Structure 1
Amino acid sequence: VPNTEWLKGTVELSKFGEVIVDSHGRTNIPGVFAAGDCTTVPFKQIVIAAGDGSKAALSAFDHLIRMPVVAAAPAGAQAVEAVAEVA
């Protein structure tokens, strides 16, 4: 039985408490990936968990590089003004 009690109400879990993932390690929450014995993969072996961890990491990387770039923080004088407002 996986130790996923703390995940209830976040990612989708199976009736056995396993994190439900697709073939790329994606959960039902965009940008959240899982791998290993806590997931719904049928075989609970170290070599399978290691391979699935690698697959989930590559899927997470792919997810990140396809996301739009968020505007950078203010630079120069604007940054000094922003810090002064907080202080």
Structure 2
Amino acid sequence: MKRDEIIKRLETLKAIYHQERCYNFDGGIDSIINKLQASSTQAGKAWEEAAATYRALAGTKCGFSDVYVDAGSAAERVAANIELDEIRQLLWDTFKRI
């Protein structure tokens, strides 16, 4: 996945969390985005640091995976949570390879 697509997914993740009034991960997400934007290639120290930050946020107790969409009808929640899980899994798969 290209850098711009990863950043877009991170921004979408942040927006979904904000809809749920979850701002706990803003600093970590912003840090990852900044590291990716500062690097012109998909390798090197900046990418390794971004991946390590994502894995730390996603893999810890009370991390990314503990936030779910709770607004809307049951069907809307299911659809939104499927999208949320897909974004998190795509990012996890991307960053676990770095």
TM-score (norm 1): 0.37
Who wins on radius of gyration, i.e. which is larger?
1
The higher-RCO structure (CA 8 Å, 6+ apart) is 2
